[in-house]
Structure 1
């Protein structure tokens, strides 16, 4: 296996999670903001970032902060403050110094390969630029997977705005009909998923309320996007919810590679 720099390894650790079935008892990657709807003259939030077996409980590994970004309501680049990474979680602060909705998150895009060399099974992870020299010419049964993942949350100071909700047209993205910071327990929410800017029909969307460590049943909901890529979520009550959508297939930018994409967010549902 080739050597991968620390920064690239941090990115690829997220992509590796794409191989884990969402509905299984498995590691899940998440961001957890201390609040998502704020007011006042100088509001801040603290965000936990981790990968765990049980949602919002620190029991596995931290998410790295190397690629974490903040987008302010006007589209400008914000910053994470007081970032630190411990044994089980990373944590950082964001100052909401502008009115409107912020987007906080990270994305990854990498390659995974499985092949045989002299009859021995081998695996490799890296970037498209490294691919040409990473796998020996004598390798057989080469299988490539291009994996991308987007993990993000939203927080609003004052009235919700839509600038940060604009689509990039790349990968799997959330195109919310209901604003992600305007959720209440008694009202269903409608979200659309788009893949490369087009409606992602037939995707499985998993929604799980937090705190499942303390419940006999996880409360997990499995939904499927309709022809417009939309799902309607009826909340079980107020609280934090984890949402993941995954897609396999579609056109890869790497020849002969299968494609796997995922989108993850945490949503705060407020009481009536």
Structure 2
């Protein structure tokens, strides 16, 4: 799976950069070995600075609007709006019993809610972790069944990938997902249309940790802290490869973000 993903990403990286240049930034997604110890970091930290990203809002904090048809968008939502220094943490490709439990424990320790975009085949094999996500108050999103490149699939196959995953989430968590993320950040018209038909909003990200490249715990932490800012949606992974660096990095940067005054939350759905 790792080899296949990296081969696909070589082409998709260019697609994601060029397809929405100047406005939106879709990104990337990646056999696992034993967890590795994090690389030691420097003793001193740089102070967090506001993010340079100033993109379109995806959500806010007003009262929910009356039920309405989910809009068909032409670009994924990238950031959230709201009062103060709010950020969203998102984790893709799981749940994975090797790494997801540690991530859930850390989030629980700091009373933080995050978003998990799950693959249906992983969710079906780990329903206990899927249920734990929902019980802890995290948002569970749809990341397709098998993590394919949607731009190479026909409409019927894309719909099947979405529907099967939504059904697993609903059966396990009690409600259907309201958010969808395309694998590799590769969106097309059919994905936007089918997502809206299934009442799901498309969510991308503002800051990519690139943790799937296994760059080292310190590098992941630095990318998070350098990119931190109001409205930022952070992309990390709890499956798809060796995610031990992601686990250790979360333990490092999460308390620092909270100490710096960031409110880590999840978006609320309503028409925007």
Q: With a CA cutoff of 8 Å and minimum separation of 6, indicate the structure with the bigger relative contact order.
A: 2
TM-score (norm 2): 0.28
TM-score (norm 1): 0.28
The structure where strand makes up a greater share of residues is: 1
The structure where helix makes up a greater share of residues is: 2
